[in-house]
Amino acid sequence: MASYINRKDLTTIMAKHGSLLFEYSQITPNIYVGTNMCCQTHFKKVLVKKGISADISLEQERVDKPFGVSYYCWLPTKDHTPPDRKQLLIGVQLLTSLISHKEKAYVHCQRGHGRAPTLVAAYLISQGKSVEDAIDLIKKKRPSIHLEKNQILALKRFGKFLKR
């Protein structure tokens, strides 16, 4: 008799053993958030086929531009911390420009749980959402996110900065 394991359980098992899965979530029609396992082998095979042309990395260590991507941006951010204001502005401006040109972007950090969702939340805040609504929207599409207190605080400060 065959046994099957669901994606959530598999992700938990892989995380416990230090392995990462290539998994991602579509947050808006043009923005995807996921793990860094996208970026060499899978980007061209999977993400480019979905029309994704841009990769925004928030990993601390630099990774080469993925195969098949037209646009690449590296915003080095230490794990468990938020991107700084300048990085948020650059990332938001890039996402705004890409989306206005009907491009799709893949935003990632290591696991796609903190830094990448923080940047996407900043973009949503720039589009008029509150901090809470931005995080809730992302969490509905990617339940595994868990922003740190400092990441939420950075989003609140970013929202206030945008209103000045």
Three-state DSSP class for residue 12: helix
Q: What is the pTM of this model?
A: 0.85
Strand order in the sheet with 31-34: 24-28, 31-34, 104-108, 52-57, 71-74
Q: Which of 24, 8, 1 minimizes the C-alpha distance to 111?
A: 24
pLDDT tens string 23-51: 889 999 999 998 886 665 666 677 888 89
Q: Which of 4-8, 31-35, 56-60, 81-85 has the highest mean pLDDT?
A: 81-85
The domain spans of the chain are 30-163
Band (pLDDT 50/70/90 cuts) for residue 1 is: very low
Other C-beta atoms lying within 10 Å of the C-beta of residue 58: 28
DSSP 27: E
Tell me the fold of 30-163: Protein-Tyrosine Phosphatase; Chain A (3.90.190)
5 has pLDDT over 50: no
| C-beta of residue 44 within 8 angstroms of C-beta of residue 68 | yes
| C-beta of residue 136 within 8 angstroms of C-beta of residue 129 | no
